[in-house]
Amino acid sequence: MAAANDVETANAYAHPETLASTDWVAAHLDDPMMRLVEADEDVLLYDLSHIPGAVKLDWHAELQDPVERDFVSRKGFEDLVSRKGISNDTTVILYGDRSNWYATYAFWLFKLFGHQDARIMDGGRLKWEQEGRPWTRDSPELLATSYTAREPDLSIRAFRDEVFWQMEAGRPLVDVRSPPEYRGELVHMVDYPQEGAQRGGHIPGARNIPWSAAVDPHVGTFKSAAELHQIYIDQHHLDRKEPVIAYCRLGERSSHTWFVLMHLLGFAQVKNYDGSWTEWGNLVAAPIERDMLGTGGK
């Protein structure tokens, strides 16, 4: 029989303070210490409608370095969030489409640069809409702030050499893409243009746990702590104490799984490999496994 504290851990999120309910957000729309930030895969959605007071964060145009394949610099991040009216002591609530893919991606970047109070609105746009809550097309009036970011926290970001070391050591790698991508049948998501990598497959030894396993598809919310425990720990045998690296194609879906493992299940060390398959699938002499028979992850 499991110990009482083990049962309690399995039935409660490790860091519930990193989630905000739609009820909480609705009650704090006029809170000057809170800033809603919408980050979508479909960057046109914000202009069609958004939660009152929310600002838009364009993952492609604003979060990426315009020349190098990398995120904005520390200075670039400071300038960006200052323009959004965000201070170091602002409570940042992130939400978006696709069960918060890019909201967790932006959350990960906020944590990379050391923002203290960042949260995900559980359910994102889908749940807000289903509950019949208000939308607007008006953009908020913003006063620029003076924001100071920290040096990037590389304890949550993996680079390719670390992935090689993780693979060679036999430590957990989690491929959060769809099974056809994992098997090597596709190099992009289903129903998307097949571009971005010269080879399909997965990193040797990686376990396929699609990001979508963590959410209720009907309302877009995260599954309960007990359900997440069953998926990641009971079924796929991940250990909270062992370092884990998650990856997808660009790092956005794996940021979702990073959030689940790190903040909802309380894993000690999880890194997001944002180079992901667009880097690994183009690397010369990088080992690749394929599972064209559909036998699934390891």
Give average pLDDT by consecutive 10-residue segment, the chain, 298 residues.
Answer: 42 95 98 97 95 95 89 96 98 97 97 98 98 97 96 97 98 97 88 79 97 96 98 97 96 97 98 96 95 46
Asked whether the CA dihedral 125, 131, 137, 138 is positive or negative, the reply is negative
Predicted confidence at residue 12, as pLDDT, reads: 94
Name which of 159, 223, 208 is nearest 13 in CA terms: 223
User: Comparing 4-152 with 155-280, is the CATH topology the same?
Assistant: yes
Predicted confidence at residue 194, as pLDDT, reads: 65
Answer yes or no: 175 catalytic: no
Buried b (16+ CB within 10 A) or exposed e, 49-77: ebbebbbbbebeebbeeeeeeebbebebb
Predicted confidence at residue 190, as pLDDT, reads: 77
Q: Are 259 and 108 in contact (CB under 8 A)?
A: yes
Domain boundaries, the chain: 4-152, 155-280
Q: Which of 248, 262, 265, 270 is catalytic?
A: 248
What does the DSSP 8-state code read for residue 73?
Answer: P
Predicted confidence at residue 6, as pLDDT, reads: 42
The tokens describing 227, both together, are 């359900």
Across the strands, what pairs with 94? Answer: 37, 120
Q: Are 208 and 202 in contact (CB under 8 A)?
A: yes
CB within 8 Å of 90: residues ≥ 6 apart: 33, 34, 35, 117, 145
Q: What is the β-pairing status of strands 91-95 and 55-56? A: unpaired
Which CATH code for domain 155-280? 3.40.250.10
Predicted confidence at residue 26, as pLDDT, reads: 98
- Distance, in Å, from the CA atom of 298 to the CA atom of 295, rounded to the nearest integer, reads 9
Predicted confidence at residue 246, as pLDDT, reads: 98
Predicted confidence at residue 4, as pLDDT, reads: 33
Backbone dihedral angles phi then psi of residue 252, each to the nearest 5 degrees:
-80, -45
The tokens describing 26, both together, are 């609705």
What does the DSSP 8-state code read for residue 202?
Answer: B
Q: Which CATH superfamily is domain 4-152 in?
A: Rhodanese-like domain (3.40.250.10)
